[in-house]
Structure 1
Amino acid sequence: MTIVKNSIATLHYTLKDDAGEILDVADENNPFLYMHGVGGMIPGLEKALENSKAGEKVVVSVAPADAYGERNPNLTQDVPREMFGSIPDEDMVVGAQFQAQTDQGVEIITVAAIEGDTIKIDGNHPMAGETLHFDVDVIDVREATEEEISHGHPHGPGGHQH
């Protein structure tokens, strides 16, 4: 079977940035399952995996426009330390991530800089502006169940369970 809309693919992959640093790994201990064609994966990788079969290897570089987008400078701002309330100082470090309620729902913000009582926060996705280099092994491809299709994601080991 090939990877087409509403198929469930099990992948092992290594994701690197332009400098060759490993950003993420999915392997036999932590495989990645996704349902193809429902928006659960970055568009550039999904397009590269279309029509692949179990046992195939897909190596692809995905530009920011087909991944997490370019960095948007309007998503950074300086806020007062008191906005973080009771978060201990030892947890307020550059790179720390927090959930924030925004007009678009709950989003992840990252602490970009700390200058005294002023915290610079960044609402960009941590991989925004990055070209992503994937080395993917397609482990398995199967048809989604009716329940998975109605929920829009895989169920069972490595997928979402109810």
Structure 2
Amino acid sequence: MNIQPNSVVALTYDLYTIENGEEVFVEKADDQNPLVFLYAVGMMLPKFEENLAGLSSGDKYDFQLVADDAYGVKDENAVTELPLDMFGEMEKPEIGSVLPLQDDEGNQFRAQVKNVSDTGVTVDLNHPMAGQDLHFIGTIISVREATEEELTHGHAHGADGQSGH
């Protein structure tokens, strides 16, 4: 079966960022712990999915995404200071740590701590890979039709369709 909307894809990948012309390894998904997702429901980067369209089990892929097609360019205005009292009795966060935050509408996002002072915590709301070109290399392990339950839930329930819940 070829990758198409409403199919569940399991794949391996090695992900590299491209910094100053040099590739830097970021992370991988291997045969023991593959990336499994419901194709074309908006969970993955659109250009990532576009590069996989039509592939089937056993196919290898190797493509790059420019920052605009990945996590966007870095927004220098997406740095803000949070008041220290917002953290209550918690320990001050460490520089470089990532904080799970939520806005007034309940949307969850992450922010990386850039600085900590006596009055506040400066955070960068950009995605950690914003402004970076990405290089994916991998293999399609399996492609199958999504189950009705997966389509209803809007996500894959594992490579074999078993949710475990």
What TM-score, normalized to structure 1?
Answer: 0.89
Instruction: Please name the residue that 1:97 is paired with.
Output: 98
1:4 paired with 2:4, answer: yes
Match of 2:124 among 122, 125, 130: 122
Secondary structure of 1:109's partner? Answer: strand
Ranges in structure 2 where 5+ consecutive residues have no aligned partner:
none
1:79 paired with 2:82, answer: yes
User: Per the alignment, do residues 117 and 74 of structure 1 end up closer, same or farther by CA in structure 2, a change over 3 Å counting?
Assistant: same
Instruction: State how 1:4-23 maps to structure 2 within 5 Å.
Output: 4-18=4-18, 19-23=22-26
Question: 95-104 or 142-151, which moves further after superposition?
Answer: 95-104
Secondary structure of 1:20's partner? Answer: strand
Ranges in structure 1 where 5+ consecutive residues have no aligned partner:
none
Deviation, 1:144, is 0.6
Instruction: Please name the residue that 2:58 is paired with.
Output: 55
Aligned residues: 160
Q: Deviations over 1:112-134 (max 9, x none)?
A: 22345432101111111111110
Match of 2:156 among 150, 154, 157: 154
Percent identity for Structure 1 against Structure 2: 36
Question: 25-34 or 106-115, which moves further after superposition?
Answer: 106-115
What is the letter of the counterpart of residue 96 of structure 2?
G
Deviation, 1:51, is 0.3
Instruction: Please name the residue that 2:36 is paired with.
Output: 33
What TM-score, normalized to structure 2?
Answer: 0.88
What is the letter of the counterpart of residue 127 of structure 1?
M
Q: Distance in 2 between matches of 1:78 and 1:5?
A: 41
Match of 1:134 among 133, 136, 142: 136
Q: Distance in 2 between matches of 1:157 and 1:5?
A: 16
8 Å Cα contact 2:101-2:111 kept in structure 1: yes
Q: Deviations over 1:57-115 (max 9, x none)?
A: 110111122211111222211233332222224xx222211111214512111102234
Runs ≥4 in structure 1, deviation > 6 angstroms?
Answer: none
